[in-house]
Amino acid sequence: MKKLIIFLLSFSTFLGCKEKGVSLKLPYEGDRLVLFGQVDAADTVRIEVQKTYPPTGESTYIDGIANATVRLFDEAGFLETLKYQRKGIYVSGSGRKWQPGSRYKIEVEAPGFPPASTELEMMPTAPVVTSYEFGRSIDSKFNPGTPSKELIISIRDNPNEENYYMVIVRRSIGKDTFGTNIFDLDRPMDDFEDPCQFRYLSNIVLPDLCAKNGEIILRKGVEINNQFGKEVDWTAQDKVTVSTRQITKSYYEFCKSYYTESELITAFMPPFPRYTNITGGYGIFTGYSQTTKEFIIKE
């Protein structure tokens, strides 16, 4: 058997093994406008206008679309044409701010592209957070032995509405801000099919499916480690900031289509489309309102 393997290897070497490139033309529908706006309902009106790119071939990257006509509408009709600022960003020339509880639509035209428009999107009101608790020392589930704190957030939810929320936790030491490890206290660490919440990047996204008696209670652990590898000023103030957002259904669906178990698992899964609410193009136009709470670890 060993002689046969040696013979086959020698024979293949003699013949020569050459790799041939495969010419495969991937489907491409042509350039389309990409509109992107995950906007704070308290901010000035703005949206980013970009474009799609071919999957292979010549690079056609540009720094945003600078010659578009971007029109803003509400439910009553036309409001204004937005002014180009820089790098594909268009803003209200009058300083108009989004109004929580109002619906808005954006229509975009640019030379060489099919027109694109958003759906009418509601700017949500701020969530009602009835209480925050932060301070009880616990051990980390991620890294046993790492100092951690228990975080409990209580959100009042209207049972007559379909609501969606996002929680963002950041730690700041002086002028440096960074994320921190957050772990679950009310479910197993290997429970990836929780209908009540999921992770979008490092943020927690949750519908109101698991609200009880008009209230959502979220219990998490927050690691308070020494941020190894970070060059920070340890003499400066050390704090944790919790942002609780009420988001739209479009925002929720966009986050959900981005969420994956892990890169390893998705490598063996068929591709799936990213959620968009743009007609004639791609991207996302959606809003949120938030409240924030700071917890001082060290003055």
DSSP-assigned letter for residue 257? H
DSSP state, residue 63: S
**Token pair listed for 274:** 């990213």
Residue 220 near residue 154 (C-beta atoms within 8 A):
no
Can you spell out the DSSP letters for 181-200?
-EEESSS-TT----TT-EEE
- Cβ atoms of 108 and 49 closer than 8 Å: yes
State the residue for tokens 């981005």.
Answer: 258
Q: What is the pLDDT of residue 263?
A: 47
Q: What element of type H or E holds 254?
A: helix 249-258
| Rounded Cα distance, 170 and 241, in Å | 5
In the block, residue with structure tokens 């009418």: 120
- For residue 8, the model assigns a pLDDT of 40
CATH 2.60.40 domain position(s) in the chain: 33-122
Nearest to 217, CA basis, from 125, 142, 133: 133
- As a whole number of angstroms, the distance between CA 283 and CA 274 comes to 9
What is the residue whose two structure tokens read 């990409």? Answer: 34
Q: Which residues of the chain have a pLDDT value below 50?
A: 2-15, 17, 261-266
Judge whether 197 and 211 are in contact, CB under 8 Å.
no
pLDDT the model gives residue 298:
82
| pLDDT for the residue 293 | 96
**Cβ 299 vs Cβ 173: under 8 Å:** no
Rounded CA separation 112/56 (Å): 20
Q: The tokens of 24 are what? A: 């495969």
| Collapsed DSSP state (helix, strand, coil) of residue 118 | strand
Class of domain 33-122: mainly beta
Contact 122, 162 (CB under 8 A): no
pLDDT of residue 15: 47
* Residue 168 structure tokens: 């963002």
Please report, as a single letter, which amino acid is at residue 258. Answer: Y
Q: Are 106 and 91 contacting, i.e. CB atoms less than 8 angstroms apart?
A: no
Instruction: Mention every residue, 6+ apart, whose C-beta is less than 8 A from residue 165.
Output: 127, 155, 205, 206, 207, 208, 216, 244, 245, 246, 247
Cα gap 65→84, rounded to integer Å: 9
Q: What pLDDT score was predicted for residue 122?
A: 94
Q: Which residue in this structure is represented by tokens 């006509």?
A: 69
